[in-house]
Amino acid sequence: MNRSLAVLLALAAAGCGHSTSGDDANGGTPPDASTFAADLRAAHDLAGAHHAAADLATAVPGDLATAATDDAATDADLATGADLAIGNDLAIGNDLAPPCGGCPVGYTCGTANGLPVCRAPSGIPLFTSVFVVLMENTTLGTLQSAMKANGAPNLSSLAAKFASGSDYHGVAHPSLPNYIALTSGDTQGIGCDCKAQPGQGSCNFATCNALLSLCTCSQNVMNLADQLEAANLSWMAFGEDMGAPCNLVDAGKYAVRHVPFLYYDDVQTNGARCNAHVVDFKGFDANKAARFNFIAPNLTDDMHDPIVATQQNIANGDSWLGPQVAAILASPAWTDGGLLVVVWDEDDFSGLLGADNPIPIFVASPYGKGGGYVSAVKADHYSLLATFEDGLGLGGRLGNAGKARAGIADTLADYFPAQ
């Protein structure tokens, strides 16, 4: 073996036992000068042993005979097979294994909160599972007032422990176009809470506006479910009080418009696919989670009813969120590197009474910022969609999620520590 190469390999082996920075996957600290010097001396000694082995391999019988009769030549001077076990001494394969276990093409192995994780070029970590809960019609200021009055203790606790945003926005009014945008990258021209059910008439200004939703508006477009399946990732959409899977008709507190996957032709017209993936929330089990989980509470539990933007609405939603969030945060799907997002579709009164105000968003992940961090970076539903796409390694972004938008962040990267 070349002596220089032996030194380098020995140095590599010696260094494998030490963290080289505060961001090391093992959370170690840099070695001090004396430790490094000892490692260097050991590396030279090890290189010398391997150099001796090379000399021994080329020795002629006469040389060996001389060595055997030389009083100075002892058993220790002749390196044995065990001494020359390069694989054991250097342990190159194990000690230098990537701490992330291999990353998708374009991703790099980094850390977040001291945990090794693959990071997308955007900085978004690669998540084991994603949970997103869609709440309804609440301006951030309205919720903050309730939280300050102790009217939403579960959300107050979530905000204190994890991260939230102060400048997150919906992209349209009323509700449905926001759901479609979050799962397809565009509102698809929808301007009302139109029907998923076929045969309800065509949409135009007279049948589809802020007050009327008297038409069918299912969409034949690429959507998040298509991306997930193309990447061989499991997904589920849960609608509280849906009843039968793939239910296209409003009933009681169940609102079809809050389950966007029912609006995509390639889902709703494929009975087997729809029945397997779009089901009642009764079937949700955080401990058996898919890689992507969309959750739509009913009209009371999502803060939509009875009267928008009132304390009663907020109390209803907060009470429902408490045990559901606790179950998700206790599940292996989350603790092993998951993401939970609780977000609202739009502000109070669907924008009818004023400007487009910020809406609440809470982001919880072992890889995320915590301790009550509040992101002031402006973001919207397209930013969130891009975060899901990058965070699940889907290999691309849909529509506006893949476009630069002036003054609006591409992703929620600010909610996660830098690499």
pLDDT computed for residue 195 by the predictor: 98
161 and 66 both lie in a single domain? no
Question: pTM for this one?
Answer: 0.78
Residue finishing a domain among 61, 95, 129: 95
| Residue 330 pLDDT grade (very low, low, confident, very high; cuts 50, 70, 90) | very high
**H or E segment to which residue 340 belongs:** strand 339-344
64 and 124 both lie in a single domain? no
Q: Give the type of residue at 148.
A: K
43 and 187 both lie in a single domain? no
Residue finishing a domain among 40, 65, 95: 95
pLDDT: is 44 or 375 the higher one?
375
Residue finishing a domain among 68, 95, 122: 95
- Please report, rounded to a whole number, the percentage of residues in the chain having pLDDT higher than 90: 72
342 and 314 both lie in a single domain? yes
- Pick the closest to residue 278 from 290, 261, 291 (CA basis): 261
End-to-end alpha carbon distance in the chain: 38
CA angle (405 as vertex; 400, 409 as ends), nearest 5: 95
- pLDDT tens per residue, range 22-66: 333 333 333 343 443 344 344 334 334 344 333 433 333 334 333
What number is the average pLDDT over the span 279-283? 98
Total domains in the chain come to: 2
| Residue 356 pLDDT grade (very low, low, confident, very high; cuts 50, 70, 90) | confident
116 and 82 both lie in a single domain? no
Round to whole Å and give the CA distance between 352 and 354.
Answer: 6
- Pick the closest to residue 303 from 354, 355, 345 (CA basis): 345
Has residue 103 been placed in a domain?
Answer: no
Residue 384 has phi, psi (to 5 degrees) of: -70, -40
Round to whole Å and give the CA distance between 194 and 200.
Answer: 9
113 and 54 both lie in a single domain? no
pLDDT computed for residue 350 by the predictor: 65
pLDDT computed for residue 303 by the predictor: 97
279 and 170 both lie in a single domain? yes
Can you list the positions of beta strands (E) in 22-114? 108-112
| Residue 309 pLDDT grade (very low, low, confident, very high; cuts 50, 70, 90) | confident
85 and 126 both lie in a single domain? no
The CATH number linked to 265 is 3.40.720.10
Domain encompassing residue 399: 108-415
> Helix count (H) and strand count (E) of the chain?
14, 12
397 and 289 both lie in a single domain? yes
19 and 168 both lie in a single domain? no
Has residue 102 been placed in a domain?
Answer: no
Beta carbons of 103 and 118 less than 8 angstroms apart? yes
Has residue 101 been placed in a domain?
Answer: no
